[in-house]
Amino acid sequence: MRRTLPMRIYIAAYALLFGFLTYLGLAVAGVVPQLAERDQSVPLEAVLVFITVFGVLQIAVITAAARWREAPRRRWFWIGGTLPAVMFFADDVPKIVALITQPSWAAAFGSAMLIALGTLVVAAGVSFRDARRAAAESGSID
């Protein structure tokens, strides 16, 4: 089975979210401007390790979604692969919503992040359905 359009959208949305994660990591490290004030009670090293771990998980999911031959047939992959991105960004949804209310470029950044996260979740659901349909047609169970 080839990757369907929702599966390709999933990969693109995940790559975009990885870009956001990279920007946030660079902002915490002080390389690029920060969108909002960082909580100083959490050590910088802990934040960078946290971002790095989720970044590696996201790279693994993006690579598997794009390159693994069995991914289009494995319905569990599309839902399970969504978890690292959702777990990382779900905690920050109130902060992202607060960014949207600011009259600056941060509003566009926050809006794009929420749209990408929503697109990823919807694409995961549709990809799950497509993989289930393909498995049913081929008679295989995963």
Residue pLDDT, tens place only, 44-97: 788 788 888 888 999 999 999 999 998 888 889 998 999 888 888 777 777 777
First to last CA, the chain: 14
Other CB atoms within 10 A of residue 97 CB: 12
Q: Range of 36's domain?
A: 5-138
pLDDT, position 140: 64
Other CB atoms within 10 A of residue 90 CB: 11
Given a cut of 70, whether residue 38 has pLDDT beyond it is: no
pLDDT, position 142: 56
Given a cut of 80, whether residue 139 has pLDDT beyond it is: no
Per the structure, the count of domains in the chain is 1
Q: Which residue has the higher pLDDT, 43 or 53?
A: 53
Q: Kindly report the CA angle at 25 between 19 and 26, in degrees rounded to 5? A: 90
